[in-house]
Amino acid sequence: MRKRHFSLIALAAASLLMTSCLSDDNDNTEYTYYKDTAISAFSLGTMNRYLHTTSSTGADSVYKVTYSGSKYKFTIDQIGHRIYNTDSMPSGSDLKHVIATITAVNNGLILMKSATSDSLSYYSNTDSLDFSTPRTVRIVAQDGQRYADYTVSVNARKVPEGTMAWTAKTTNAELAALDDIRALAAGTRLYAFGTEGGRTVGYATDITDGATWTKLPATFSPTATFVVKDKALYALDNDAVMTSADGQTWTTVATNSSLKRIVAASPAHLFALTADGNGVTTGMAASADNGVTWTADGIDDNAAMLPDDGVAYTCNALTTNDNIAQVMIVGRCTAANDITARIWTKLDDYSSSPVKSSWNYVDNAGNTKYALGDIPSLAVTTYGGYPTAVVCSADSVSPMLQSRDGGLTWQEADRALPALLKATVGKMAMTTDSEGSLWIIADGVVWKN
């Protein structure tokens, strides 16, 4: 990259010569200088990838292939000023020599901050950039009066596709004793809840640990359900809506007899199944104030098809709009008297001018090849930007499955489970922590990738 450095002092001095509307003494043309400091688009060009191979004689060699970086979509977080790809690029990608196309609103000036100092250089869409570490991109408004810094992270897999670097953190007898186990990640903590002796109990560990689990003091009824929102735990125990920042101390925020089980959360809402006096599912409800009050949330199909057993959920921000999340719930439906997966999704809009939407039933009728199918036991989380599931039956554990079309089809992911993983129905759970690491608890063995 050609270095065209300039000092911030020079930039500031130049900005003093600019005004919002300028006119030349000898020209009647008026020029407008905009105040925008935002990146509107980010993409990568052709990428180099270096792969290892072994000849028939056992000699190792490296060869280069190329692929289109534009296939990997980047999320632009306009609030946090972050740009990143949720679907990691292939292992072996050369991130030190990258051609990036960056677009600024109203042609704002684009600058690249040095990876080793505070110096700035003009950006060019023909220059090779080093994205092996997060980089700062500065957008200076046309009027020269303001700027905004974005942190760009280009993520690539560290190990070849089809493999994952799994570590067995511990074999924990207390976790192995839990039935209907579920795992949650909140902040820097991992939680495991399950039934034992007719009660629901919980255990916790730090995401930097995973080997030492501490039993939580609170116990719940065997039907208690849990979700995570804003790094806090939320539970529905009978008709009590409860919350905890650490799993140790719980506060009841509301009592609502119409709620059946809390099933999902987004950055803006909690979601729960509702039921009549006989416990029959009647629909969905949402809370915008962390469980204090609840209002009916629309559904587009028969409430009897809502999952009310073994329910898990995912929440993924849309790559096209960070203020809209796709929330998915998946589980079994007791009214159907079978173990077929029932999947519902909702687009939850929490922008300044939200558009309200209903829950949509994902009808897999006729889709026998790629439907999730029967789920005697199911572990679900978001991984790599997509809903990810593992199905456990009496005699087998499925490969890791991912859906990239809102739950309609589920296909084998390019990531493998631990080779030694074994699980019993009801004894497996999965979650993704705040650093993007995947955790699996199976028959008391805690795995981390």
Instruction: Give me the residue spans of the domains in the chain.
Output: 5-41+76-86+95-153, 167-448
pLDDT of 202 over the 70 cut:
yes
The residues pairing with 147 across neighbouring beta strands, listed in sequence order, are: 140
Average pLDDT score over residue span 189-202: 97
User: What distance in Å separates the CA atoms of residue 140 and residue 293, rounded to the nearest whole number?
Assistant: 44
For residues 291, 283, 389, 428, the Cα torsion angle rounded to the nearest 10 degrees is 70
pLDDT of 10 over the 90 cut:
no
Quick: pLDDT tens for 356-400. Answer: 999 999 988 777 788 998 899 999 999 888 899 999 988 789 999
pLDDT of 20 over the 90 cut:
no
Residue 246 confidence (pLDDT): 96
- Element (H or E) spanning 273, and its range? strand 270-275
For residues 54, 55, 56, 58, the Cα torsion angle rounded to the nearest 10 degrees is -60
Question: 312: closest CA among 352, 265, 267, 257?
Answer: 265
Residue 160 confidence (pLDDT): 64
Question: 111: closest CA among 99, 125, 121?
Answer: 121
Parallel/antiparallel/unpaired status of strands 147-153 and 82-84: parallel
Residue 337 confidence (pLDDT): 87
CATH number of 5-41+76-86+95-153: 2.60.40
416 or 294, greater pLDDT: 294
Residue 367 confidence (pLDDT): 76
User: What distance in Å separates the CA atoms of residue 416 and residue 449, rounded to the nearest whole number?
Assistant: 10
The beta strands (E) that lie in 91-198 are given as 100-104, 109-113, 120-122, 135-140, 147-153, 167-171, 179-186, 189-196
pLDDT band of 420, cuts 50, 70, 90 = confident
Residue 28 confidence (pLDDT): 60
Signed CA dihedral, 192, 194, 200, 203: sign only: negative
Average pLDDT score over residue span 275-303: 97
Average pLDDT over the chain reads 89
pLDDT of 11 over the 50 cut:
no
* Backbone torsion region of residue 381, taken as left when φ is above 0, otherwise alpha when ψ lies between -120 and 50, otherwise beta: beta
Residue 19 confidence (pLDDT): 39
Quick: pLDDT tens for 142-174. Answer: 888 899 999 999 998 776 655 567 899 999 999
Q: Return phi, psi of residue 305, to 5°.
A: -90, 0
- Element (H or E) spanning 404, and its range? none
Contacts of 122 (CB under 8 A, 6+ apart): 4, 109, 110, 111, 112
pLDDT band of 29, cuts 50, 70, 90 = low
User: What distance in Å separates the CA atoms of residue 30 and residue 21, rounded to the nearest whole number?
Assistant: 6
- The CATH number of domain 167-448 is 2.120.10.80: yes
Q: In whole angstroms, how far apart are CA 384 and each of 73, 116, 176, 415?
A: 12, 29, 28, 10
pLDDT band of 14, cuts 50, 70, 90 = very low
Residue 1 confidence (pLDDT): 42
pLDDT of 23 over the 50 cut:
no
Residue 18 confidence (pLDDT): 42
Question: 242: closest CA among 285, 272, 197, 276?
Answer: 272
Given the structure tokens 């009590």, which residue do they identify?
240
For residues 380 and 389, is the Cβ–Cβ distance under 8 A?
yes
- Cα angle, residue 386 at apex, residues 444 and 65 outer, rounded to 5°: 105
Residue 384 confidence (pLDDT): 81
Quick: pLDDT tens for 237-279. Answer: 999 999 999 999 999 999 999 999 999 999 999 999 999 999 9
121 or 419, greater pLDDT: 121
User: What distance in Å separates the CA atoms of residue 348 and residue 188, rounded to the nearest whole number?
Assistant: 25
